[in-house]
Amino acid sequence: MAFVTRQLLRSMSSASDPATAAAKKIAIKQVTVIGGGLMGAGIAQVAAATGHTVVLVDQAEDILKKSRKGIEDSLKRVAKKMFADKPEASSQFVEKTLKNLTVSTDAASVVHSSDLVVEAIVENLNVKNELFNRLDKFAPEHTIFASNTSSLPITQIANSTSRQDRFGGLHFFNPVPMMKLVEVIKTPMTSQKTFDSLIDFSKALGKNPVSCQDTPGFIVNRLLVPYMLEAVRLYEKGHALKEDIDVAMKLGAGYPMGPFELLDYVGLDTCKYIIDGWHDAEPGNPLFAPSPLLDKLVEEKKFGKKTGEGFYKYK
Ligand code: CAA
Ligand code: NAD
């Protein structure tokens, strides 16, 4: 069984005949990103910075204004590192990237010219399905749809469309400009051409793609989310201070952030959606048990860094 899985994963990560596969792949040049929050803004930024024409979509102009400002600030940080003592090259890079990026509040009217639509909206199956079902009617035949979901089955999202063969998972990591990994998810219906195109797109963004079956949490979150929730349970039981747990995992395990810092960074609302969804699917699994403290913070709208308070307070 393990051998079969290994073979399947191997076949997923490389096309059998590169020359034939290359001819079949879709060259992704025009990208629509839906959702201008933490993740969507980051995905739009790296796509624009690597020469793609990008439209970023969200529900309101004021949200998009904030997304654009966040992208500009992040680009300046990237440029400062890339062009350390070349201020002119640095500002040219920022300007050029911003030229590749436009914003819109009307997804249906912009997808007509897209090779790829990447969705990064709220972690809710019904809302994602409603969006994709609507866009399916407006996007051209060749357009690939991809979801950046952290925890939902890609197959169930793809089923809201009539293009299951042109649908895959494209799971980025926060902060997108810094994190090198993309998990590319192939459902049983995803065509090899779609999968290869998503792998190529990830590489074109300068990322390192890995493949995974359509299993809850894929690779990273299946390990990371139970770990973060276990840290909350340790704290809830009074076994250690959250500050000490964070220091312990940074200095004792070499993690760049402690679990509470990371929960706040990811967003407590998103973490709650993830764990609640898995708990509903497998109520008896202790790894997926909800946390009363996490629930309370989300109830109080303390979503972490993005709202100024979560486990910690932010300026
Ligand atoms: N944009 C651009 N550049 C950035 C950046 C951003 N958002 N964040 C950091 N940088 C760069 C900058 O060059 C920055 O230097 P300046 O402050 O001078 O601009 C440099 O990185 C150092 O940043 P920091 O001093 O803020 O902090 P750091 O050294 O700790 O690095 C970090 C920040 C990269 C976020 C690091 O702490 C880290 O890797 N943390 C773990 C993140 C992680 O685990 N992400 C995965 C979350 S799970 C997920 O995403 C999946 C899911 O579905 C929930
Ligand atoms: P976020 O709350 O920062 O942003 C979500 C954005 O989507 C908001 O700006 C919201 O206005 C917008 N939105 C909601 N419904 C919409 C709709 N119907 N049409 C257009 N825009 C809509 O959330 P996020 O952290 O960026 O997460 C987005 C997705 O990415 C989720 O599926 C999440 O699970 C996944 N994800 C999150 C992280 C993370 O660390 N936060 C990492 C990887 C994947």
Per-residue confidence in pLDDT tens, the chain, 315 aa: 343 344 334 434 433 444 554 556 788 999 999 999 999 999 999 999 999 999 999 999 999 999 999 999 999 999 999 998 898 999 999 999 999 999 999 999 999 999 999 999 999 999 999 999 999 999 999 999 999 999 999 999 999 999 999 999 999 999 999 999 999 999 999 999 999 999 999 999 999 999 999 999 999 999 999 999 999 999 999 999 999 999 999 999 999 999 999 999 999 999 999 999 999 999 999 999 999 999 999 999 999 999 999 999 998
DSSP character for 117? Answer: E
Q: How far is the CA of 121 from the centre of ligand 2 (A)?
A: 3
Q: What is the pLDDT of residue 284?
A: 96
Q: What is the pLDDT of residue 85?
A: 87
Q: How far is the CA of 95 from the centre of ligand 2 (A)?
A: 26
Interacting residues of 99 by C-beta distance below 8 A, sequence separation 6+ = none
Q: For residues 71 and 73, give the distance between their C-alpha atoms in angstroms, rounded to a whole number.
A: 5
Alpha helices, DSSP H, located in the chain: 2-13, 18-24, 38-49, 61-82, 87-99, 107-110, 125-135, 154-158, 192-204, 220-236, 242-253, 259-266, 268-281, 292-299
Pocket test residue of 176, 178, 207, 264 for ligand 1, highest count of atoms within 8 A of CB: 178
221 is a catalytic site residue = yes
Query: Six-digit token pair at 238?
Result: 């009074």
Q: Please report the atom of ligand 1 found closest to the CA of residue 267.
A: 54
Q: Please report the atom of ligand 2 found closest to the CA of residue 63.
A: 9
Handedness of CA 232, 238, 240, 242 (dihedral sign): positive
Burial (CB count within 10 angstroms: exposed 0-12, middle 13-18, buried 19+), residue 33: buried
**What is the three-class DSSP state of 309?**
strand
Q: What is the pLDDT of residue 8?
A: 35
Q: What is the pLDDT of residue 26?
A: 80
Q: What is the pLDDT of residue 89?
A: 94
Length of the chain counted residue by residue: 315
Residue ranges around ligand 1 (CB below 6 Å): 74, 77-78, 81, 150, 173-175, 177-179, 220-221, 224, 256-257, 262, 266
Q: How far is CA 107 from the centre of its chain?
A: 19
Burial (CB count within 10 angstroms: exposed 0-12, middle 13-18, buried 19+), residue 283: exposed
Q: pTM for the full model? A: 0.93
Q: How far is the CA of 34 from the centre of ligand 2 (A)?
A: 9
Q: For residues 101 and 47, give the distance between their C-alpha atoms in angstroms, rounded to a whole number.
A: 9
Which residues on neighbouring strands pair with residue 57, listed in sequence order?
A: 34, 104
CB 196 within 8 A of CB 169: no
Rg from Cα positions in the chain: 20
